[in-house]
Structure 1
Amino acid sequence: MTATPAQPYSPSVPRAHRPRRRLPRTPGPLGDALTLMALPLLAALALPAAFAGGGTRRWFGGRAESQRAEAQAAKDAAAAAFYELDTAQRDLRISIETITAVDDSPAARRAVADFDALGRRIDEASHQYISAVDAHDLDRDDLEASAAARARTELTAAKEELGRVKQELDRFTDGLGPLLGKAETQLARLAPAVERARQALLAASNALDSVRATGLKADDLAARLAALSPELTKLNQGAGQHGVPQTLERAERVTRGAEAVRVEAERLPERAAEIDHRLVSLRTRAQALTTRSEQVDPILSELRRRFTVACWQDLQRVPDVAAENVRRAETKLAEAHTARDEQRWADATALLSTVRALLNSTDEAVSAAGDRLHRLNAVQKDPQQEIDRTRFAIRDAQRLAMAGRNTPDPRHARPLDDAVSRLERAIATLDGRHPDYWHFLTETEAVRRAVSRVVSLIRDERGAAGH
């Protein structure tokens, strides 16, 4: 609210300081005599003014002065209401500016529109007050009682209107509580968030300097840190230019990025040592697998000599695959070593992961040939051990299915019966001159897996029923 009330009127020159009117002086003795004769008359005329207290107003009687006093009291009360409303509006404007700096939601935009409408009501009430003040000069010497009464009425009406608008403003202010609280919370977060971002950038820069001092390169980390410089520039420009929510989000993003750079920089010496260790370890493992893969051919030769084709046919390519995998692993190891020398840490890590995967695959294939021969030897010598193991699993599942029941649930009994039949058929394949022991082993394994599924189903159902 820009308008200000008219200041109370006061006479520009009080009577005590006004120049006295001089009587015309007649020269000579006659003039002196006339002057002396006039003095008692002037003194008599001055007495009423002296008894009136030396003021400048005329004496109109008690009613006029009473009306003037009431009008002045109304004027003072209106002025107090005006200043109270003006102060409240200024405080509310600060709250609105706080909200708009942070929040662009529909609720915030609606609050701004409502504040503008309320501002127009305040302007109207202020105009009514200022007009009433300007229309009545309560310090006029000739102020009549009726004019003072009109002034009091208009000023009282202006005060009441100011009061009503103040109540509307108070209700509106109370309704802004949630929006203002949210905005103030974000503003309270702003300065610490920006400072955290600056400190994170400084820490990342110091970490990079420390790493480079040890002779390690960190070009990728330096590039990532440099990419954050434009964001720091925007942070330094402030939320007034880029908005509070955007600045908060930018500060958090810069903090995360700088913190990641710092952590990786501090870990770089450890990472380099870890890569060196893995290079040595994987090279040793590749050499050991080369030796082991050379033993696959004798194993396959024994399998061909003693067992049917079905027992070893899927292992035929193991020696070739093993040799190829080891060769590729050694090539990748050489590339990883080069990447390590060039301090391309990410490339070196990726290459070493590829080497490990190749060696794992080779290890499984080579182990499969030896494991096949071992298991076939065991079942050829004593197939009954495998049969008893499978039958025990079936009987245990059957006892569980019958626990607490007179007849088994068909959903459980049927797959268990199928498992019994399947085991009997697998046992029958052992008869003959050249049994397929590998088929027998795969069948018994399949039977045990089927039985295990039934057991899990029974326990899950009973567990659910118990709850």
Structure 2
Amino acid sequence: MTATTTTRNPRQSSAPDPRRPAASFGRALKDTLTLVALPLPLLTATLTGAFNAGGTRRWFGGRAESQRAQAQAAKDDAAAAFYELDTAQRDLRISIETITAVDDSPAARRAVEDFAGLGRRIDEVSGQYITAVDAHDLDRDDLEASAASRAHAQLTQAKQQLTQVKQDLDRFAQGIGPLLGKAETQLARLAPSVERARQALLAATTALDSVRQAGLKADDLAARLAALGPELTKLNQGAGQHGVPETLERAERVARDAETVRAEAERLPERAAEIDRRLVSLRTRAQALQTRAGQVEPVLSELRRRFTAACWQDLQTVPDTAEENVRQAESKLAEARVAREAQRWPDATALLSTVRALLNSTDESVSAASDRLQRLNAVAKDPRAEIDRTRFAIRDAQRLAMAGRSTPDPRHARPLDDSVARLDRAVAGLEGRHPDYWHFLTETEGVRRTVARVVTQIREDRGGGV
């Protein structure tokens, strides 16, 4: 009846124990099994028949028979307690095995140790019970009242001990409830998780076969899928060999990796088509930028002719830089085309990203030259619009700073006052024969950025108010 030793069970047939007489022990087990197994009405009838039937037994009336009946009742009660304890221990052993199969935590190890301790107590009280049964033959014709009384006392004590240990076993079972629930949850997840992993691998294999039949190579995906083969072998070997937590983690990882391979395989035709579209689109854009880059030099020529050097010096390298960027872009496009033909999809994607970055940079620099000429023409013709725009921004910020106040916060007033002075200096710089219009434009932009920061600070200080 314990995790470490085997205890006699009235329900089982077993070899005689060399520690006690075989005949008396056999009678005890036979009586225990018979009385526990019989329904109450049949048990009553049997006992009544035993007392009333004829035969060789000689019955003695009075006190001896009353003591015999009490001893027999105590024997029946002890047998029932023994059976309940045995059943509870067997059920709890299954629970402990469930926990140890899943959990190796300190709490689980303590539960195993506590169960072993209970098992030793169960062995002890079970042995005392069996000894009490073997010590008294309640069927003897010459059973004396004193012997029946001793049997009653010993069997009653054995029943109490069995009951007490059963109560301790029940409390222990309640205490390991959370551990058992967690273990059962993991075991319930085990089979579905392993099956999901197998199905994910099958789906990935099917998707990869379909891609290859379409004429697309997927060597990297095939290598990743092949790497999952040993993991599948371990899953098939089972949790008994590798442990439940490890098997669950492996099944989830295999399912996740296989699903990734499947998804990438299914996207591969679309990815190839997208790379083909980008190759054409970027090639067309590179040709267009090459044409636009050739138009930068006339723009620079006009800037040099009409404006001071400070207005165009930073644009001097634009034609050469644009030409070099376009050349590099075309070279990378050729490499990307080779990678696409070899179906090296990651390489092709990376090269196309490099081409796009080069063309974006070229587009910005080419556009900067024409935008510069346009803005300088506008301010040279009428700087008033730029001045009014900047002054309006300053006045609007000043009104916001004074809203609900008699004096502005110095943190807001000081940068606004500095912005007014800065704008005045920029306007004064337009006087003269060859004004630096680009400096004027950069100054007014700088003033507006400063004013915008002050407005943001005011609103944050007021909790997002005005």
The TM-score with structure 2 as length reference comes to 0.88
C-alpha deviations, 1:21-55, integer Å up to 9, x for none? xxxxxxxxxxxxxxxxxxxxxxxxxxxxxx98432
Structure 1 residues 121 and 464: alpha-carbon distance in aligned structure 2, compared to 1, 3 A threshold: farther
Residue identity matched to 1:429: G
Structure 2 stretches of 5 or more lacking a match? Answer: 11-24, 31-50
- Asked whether the equivalents of residues 9 and 138 of structure 1 are also in contact (C-alpha less than 8 Å), the reply is no
Query: Contact 1:205–1:262 (CA<8 Å) still a contact in 2?
Result: yes
User: 1: distance between equivalents of 2:227 and 2:28?
Assistant: 68
Structure 2 counterpart of 1:3, which letter? T
- Paired position in structure 2 for 1:3: 7
* Paired position in structure 1 for 2:159: 159
Aligned-pair identity in percent equals 81
The CA deviation string for residues 382-406 of structure 1, in whole angstroms up to 9 with x for no partner, is: 1111111100100111111111222
Kindly state the Cα deviation for residue 279 of structure 1 after the two structures are TM-superposed.
0.2
Query: How far apart, in 1, do the equivalents of 2:444 and 2:399 lie?
Result: 20
Does the CA contact (< 8 Å) of 1:9 and 1:139 recur in 2?
no
Quote the Cα distance in structure 1 between the aligned partners of 2:29 and 2:165: 31
Cα pair distance change 1:53/1:189, threshold 3 Å: closer
SS at match of 1:463: coil
Q: Deviations over 1:285-335 (max 9, x none)?
A: 111111111111111122122222211111111111111111111111111
- After the TM superposition, which of the residue ranges 130-139 and 424-433 deviates more from structure 2? 130-139
Quick check: 236-245 or 449-458, which moved more?
A: 236-245
* SS of equivalent to 1:215: coil
Distance 2:383 2:453 in 1: 24
- Shift in alpha-carbon separation, 1:179–1:465, aligned structure 2, 3 A: farther
In structure 1, the residue matched to 2:380 is 380
Q: Report the equivalent of 2:22.
A: none
Who is 1:99 aligned against? 99
Greater mean alpha carbon deviation, residues 136-145 or residues 189-198: 136-145
State the partner residue of 1:282. 282
State the match for 2:35 in structure 1.
Answer: none
Aligned-pair RMSD on alpha carbons?
1.8
| 1:10–1:139 contact (8 Å) kept in structure 2 | no
Q: 2:178 corresponds to which residue?
A: 178
1:180 partner amino acid: L
Cα drift, residue 419 of structure 1: 0.5
* Structure 1 residues 277 and 150: CA distance shift in structure 2, 3 A: same
Q: For 2:138, what is the secondary structure of its paired residue? A: coil
Partner residue of 1:407? 407
Corresponding position: 1:256 with 2:256: yes
Q: 1:187, 1:303 → 2: CA distance?
A: 79
Task: Tell me how far apart the structure 1 counterparts of residues 371 and 29 of structure 2 sit (CA, whole Å).
Answer: 117
The CA deviation at 1:243 is 1.4
Tell me if structure 1 keeps the 8 A contact 2:397–2:454: yes
Q: Name the amino acid aligned to 2:7.
A: A
Looking at structure 1, the residues matched to 53 and 245 of structure 2 have their Cα atoms a distance apart, in angstroms, of 68
* Correspondences of 1:299-338 after superposition (within 5 Å): 299-338=299-338
Counterparts of 1:453 and 1:182, CA distance in 2? 57
What is the identity, as a one-letter code, of the residue corresponding to 1:414?
R
Structure 1 distance, partners of 2:348, 2:385, is 49
1:349-388 equivalent positions in 2, closer than 5 A: 349-388=349-388
- Residue 57 of structure 1: CA displacement? 2.3
Equivalence for 1:149: 149
Letter in 1 for 2:267: R
Structure number with bigger Rg: 1
Counterpart AA for 1:281:
S
CA distance in 2, matches of 1:313, 1:193: 68
Alpha carbons 1:75, 1:156 under 8 Å: kept: yes
Query: Which residue is equivalent to 1:87?
Result: 87
The residue aligned with 1:234 is: 234
Cα deviation 1:195-221 (Å, max 9, x = unaligned): 111111111111111111111111111
Quick one: structure 1 residues 426 and 465, their matched pair in 2 at CA, closer, same or farther if it must change by over 3 Å? closer
Residues 333, 351 of structure 2: 8 Å contact kept: yes
**What is the correspondence of 1:100-249 to structure 2 with a 5 Å cutoff?**
100-249=100-249
Q: Equivalents in 1 of 2:421, 2:82: separation in Å?
A: 102
Distance 1:465-1:456 versus aligned 2 partners, 3 A rule: closer
Structure 2 Cα separation of the partners of residues 247 and 135 of structure 1: 53
Q: Using a 3 Å threshold, how does the CA distance of structure 1 residues 91 and 441 change in structure 2: closer, same or farther?
A: same
The size of the alignment, in residue pairs, is 427
Whole-angstrom distance in 1 between the partners of 2:373 and 2:441: 12
Q: d(CA) in 2 for partners of 1:59 and 1:390?
A: 127
Q: Is 1:294 equivalent to 2:294 in the alignment?
A: yes
Residues 298 and 189 from structure 1, CA distance in 2 versus in 1: closer, same or farther, beyond 3 angstroms?
Answer: same
CA contact (8 A) 1:234 1:242 kept: yes
TM-superposed deviation, 1:167: 0.7
Q: Structure 1 segments of 4 or more deviating over 6 A? A: none
Aligned to 2:437: 437
Moved more, 412-421 or 126-135: 126-135
What secondary structure sits across from 2:405 in the alignment?
A: coil
Shift of 1:459: 1.4
Gapped regions of structure 1 (runs ≥ 5): 12-50
* 1:127 partner letter: G
